[in-house]
Amino acid sequence: MPELPEVETTARGIAPFLIGQKFVSVRVNQPSLRWPIPSDFSQRLLNEVCVSVTRRAKYLLIETETTKILSHLGMSGSFRLVDSKTPLKLHDHVQILVGSLELRYHDPRRFGCLLWADSERARQLIDNLGPEPLSDTFCGEWLYLQSKRRNIAVKSFIMTNSVVVGVGNIYASESLFLAGIHPARPANRISFARYNNLATQVKKVLSCAIEAGGTTLRDFVNGQGEPGYFQQTLSVYGRAGDPCKRCCHAIGNRMIAGRNSFFCPQCQT
């Protein structure tokens, strides 16, 4: 599933080509995504001028002069900018023409969404989200205070959207490794100093992933159809049984809250 770095990469990739441009044609080929694309989608966007492309958590926000779209990429979604004459792919569900280029939403599993940001469904998705991990609000003190009454595993804790947004399974595993914290350790049994370090590592991991264009483990490509390369630097995720890059002990794997969690039994306590 595309996570925060993948969505940020997408936003940065398509923004220069959309901002200031008019949507001269809008076509919905398949409205049945996770939630139906609004029936007035094409009508409301036609001839609108894009004013911003931003991200909130794992959601992409495309704003025009009068409206705003909220999109989630689901399990396999992607936005691609292609020449308008490029043949359609089977799962290109939405086409938005901007000059000679076309923005296409592609989603084989159709688990993503395209909603009006002011709709009740969209507000339910974003109104109660926690701070952005790359913001000043997110810090060790914030994590420490939020953890006081949480005895859940720390990995689940930092993947909770009301605590911090966008720290998905891959990046939680990597951040905890760099911080030397075992993913199953109860959140309320971690010191302030260790949370300070963890917050620093979360910021570091996400920033590096964004610079590398995200992590391509299944379907993700950026706005130009290119894969991300952060997976080439992964320390623990997906490496069960391989030697730890620090101590050479075999990387472990266990289920935590229904998710595969990778860690070094020697380096993480």
What is the rounded average pLDDT for all residues in the chain? Answer: 92
Residue 227 pLDDT greater than 60, yes or no? no
pLDDT at site 256: 97
Catalytic residue among 2, 5, 131, 183: 2
Cα–chain center distance at 105: 16
- Comparing 240 with 228, which gets the higher pLDDT? 240
Active site residue 121: no
Beta bridge partners of 56: 59
- Comparing 214 with 223, which gets the higher pLDDT? 214
* Per-residue three-class SS string for the chain: CCCHHHHHHHHHHHHHHHCCCECCEEEECCCECCCECCCCHHHHHCCCEEEEEEEECCEEEEEECCCEEEEECCCCCEEEEEECCCCCCCCEEEEEEECCEEEEEECCCCCCEEEECCCHHHHHHHCCCCCCCCCCCCCHHHHHHHHCCCCCEHHHHHCCCCCCCCCCHHHHHHHHHHHCCCCCCEHHHCCHHHHHHHHHHHHHHHHHHHHCCCECCCCCCCCCCCCCEHHHHCCCCCCCCCECCCCCCECEEEEECCEEEEECCCCCC
Catalytic residue among 27, 34, 185, 259: 259
Residue 147 pLDDT greater than 80, yes or no? yes
pLDDT at site 216: 43
Order of strands across the sheet that contains 78-83 = 25-28, 92-98, 101-106, 78-83
Residue 133 pLDDT greater than 60, yes or no? yes
* Each residue's pLDDT tens digit, 7-29: 998 999 999 999 999 999 999 99
pLDDT at site 212: 81
pLDDT at site 231: 56
Cα–chain center distance at 201: 17
Strands 259-263 and 59-64: unpaired
Residue 217 pLDDT greater than 50, yes or no? no
* Each residue's pLDDT tens digit, 148-161: 999 999 999 999 99
Catalytic residue among 55, 58, 80, 194: 58
Active site residue 3: yes
Active site residue 80: no
pTM: 0.87
- Comparing 176 with 234, which gets the higher pLDDT? 176
Active site residue 259: yes
* Each residue's pLDDT tens digit, 49-104: 999 999 999 999 999 999 999 999 999 999 999 999 999 999 999 999 998 899 99
Q: Could you state, in order of their start, the residue ranges of all structural domains in the chain?
A: 4-126, 140-263
Residue 204 pLDDT greater than 80, yes or no? yes
Rounded Cα distance, 156 and 50, in Å = 37
pLDDT at site 214: 52
Same fold across 4-126 and 140-263: no
Beta bridge partners of 116: 69
Rounded Cα distance, 34 and 42, in Å = 18
Indicate the CATH number for domain 4-126: 3.20.190.10
Q: Does domain 140-263 have CATH number 1.10.3210.10?
A: no
pLDDT at site 192: 98
For residues 243-268, average pLDDT: 97
